[in-house]
Amino acid sequence: MKQLRLWAVAERSPVYQIAFACSAIVISVALRHYLHSALPPGFPYVTFFPAIILTGYFAGTKAGIAVAAVCGLASWYWFLAPENSFAISPQIILTLVFYLFISGTELVLLHAMRNALITLEDEKNRSNTLAQANKTMFHELQHRVSNNLQVVASLLKMQRRNVVDESARAALDAASARLQVVASIQRQLHNPKRQTTDMGQMMRELLPEVVSSSSQSERFTLDFDIEPVVVTGDQATPLALIIVELVSNAVEHAARDVGKTHLLLTMRSRGNEAIVIVQDDGNGLPPDFVPEKSRSLGLRVALQFTEQLAGRLVFETINGTRVTLTIPLDSDSR
């Protein structure tokens, strides 16, 4: 079908058009002669109409007109009584007018169809070119952003190598980790194949790296109980950063003195709300813990982003520490 369409819109050389038209005339006239004795009276144009249609389609309107004219004369001379003459009678005139009307209608329709197909093909090519340009531009942008983020990441790493103070090293590690999170989100969010983001899947890919980059990683096991939570691009970055901060915070503070601490991330999408629970089985929160008064940068980031998302962040001591984040989902993501 696609090949048929391409044949119809292909540019044909004059030689091709003449050759196609001549072949169509010879074959249709010869076939009409061959069938003459077998056909009942009243079918003078039976082989000529297909010849006109095929020529109009495959060789263009001009070639189709030429075939219609020559075949009209041929049928008048050989196949309209009296045969072998160009005799004129009211009946012959009526037959010729009928032939002109039918072949003219065929050619007009074919011409319109060919023009529509050519326009369609042009539009399609233009769309493909635009899509390709868009893709190239996206890749270029993606590379530039990634390169710039890499420069910052490299700077932080090199700075870290020259720092001996453990708290300074930890701060640079945390900054590097946050940068990785932002970069990972940026890469996933700006993937042209993706309109929305399944935060559950993203966290599965991201959090093992966050935990393993910590010096405490040996003391933790990380598990997931995740259902797909689909969010929009606007929600994805703050939500991802909140979850990363909560998990980083747990890794920093929840480690038990003996044995491994178990971290569990639960994600659910309920109606128009997303629920995220970060649970650890560590020592629990200090008795006087008030999140808003915490000096932890990570916690402040989490609280600010929760406010931005119009959500709620609840800290509880239940079998360790449980932090529950509830945010409304944008209608676009549902």
Partner 1 sequence: MPKTILVQDPDVLISLDLAQTVMEAWPDASVILCRDVPQILAVLTNGQRPDLLILNQSLRSVRGYGLTSLVRHSRAKMLLTGADDDDAAEIAALGWHALDMPFSAAQVRHALHDACPDPEVRRENRCNAIGFG
Residue from 157, 194, 270, 334 touching partner 1 (CB under 8 A): that is 157
What is 125-182 written as a DSSP string?
HHHHHHHHHHHHHHHHHHHHHHHHHHHHHHHHHHHHHT---HHHHHHHHHHHHHHHHH
User: Residue 273's beta-bridge partner residues?
Assistant: 270, 328
Name the minimum Å distance from CB 265 to partner 1.
21
Stretch that binds partner 1, among 80-88, 105-113, 151-159, 272-280 (CB under 8 A): 151-159
Q: Does 88 bind partner 1 (CB under 8 A)?
A: no
Name the residue nearer to partner 1 (CB basis): 33 or 139: 139
Name the minimum Å distance from CB 177 to partner 1.
8
Separation of alpha carbons 64 and 57, rounded Å: 8
Name the residue nearer to partner 1 (CB basis): 2 or 161: 161
For the window 189-228, what string marks contact with partner 1 as x by the rule CB under 8 A? --x-----------------x--xx---------------
Name the residue nearer to partner 1 (CB basis): 109 or 151: 151
Name the residue nearer to partner 1 (CB basis): 162 or 331: 162
The number of helices, as runs of H, and strands, as runs of E, in the chain is 9, 7
Name the minimum Å distance from CB 151 to partner 1.
6
Q: Does 117 bind partner 1 (CB under 8 A)?
A: no
b/e map of 280-311 (b: 16 or more CB within 10 Å)? bbbebbeeeeebeeeeeebbebbbebbeebeb
Residues in the chain: 334
Name the residue nearer to partner 1 (CB basis): 143 or 270: 143
> What element of type H or E holds 224?
strand 220-226
Name the minimum Å distance from CB 218 to partner 1.
14
Residue from 127, 154, 272, 304 touching partner 1 (CB under 8 A): that is 154
Separation of alpha carbons 11 and 60, rounded Å: 9
Stretch that binds partner 1, among 32-40, 75-83, 174-182, 297-305 (CB under 8 A): 174-182
Residues 127 to 146 in contact with partner 1, rule: CB under 8 A: 139, 143, 146
Name the residue nearer to partner 1 (CB basis): 177 or 231: 177
Name the residue nearer to partner 1 (CB basis): 123 or 209: 209
Q: CB count, 10 Å around CB of 141?
A: 11
Q: Does 9 bind partner 1 (CB under 8 A)?
A: no
Distances (CA, A) of 216 to 219, 221, 248, 265, 286: 6, 11, 10, 18, 20
Residue from 151, 297, 314, 318 touching partner 1 (CB under 8 A): that is 151
Residue 225: closest CA among 275, 280, 267: 267
The one-letter code for the residue type at 29 is V
Residue 95: closest CA among 107, 77, 115: 77
Separation of alpha carbons 189 and 181, rounded Å: 12
Name the minimum Å distance from CB 261 to partner 1.
21
Determine the size of the site formed for partner 1 (CB under 8 A). 24
Separation of alpha carbons 12 and 9, rounded Å: 9
Name the residue nearer to partner 1 (CB basis): 71 or 206: 206
Binding site for partner 1 (CB under 8 A): 139, 143, 146-147, 149-155, 157-158, 161, 176-177, 179-180, 183, 187, 191, 209, 212-213
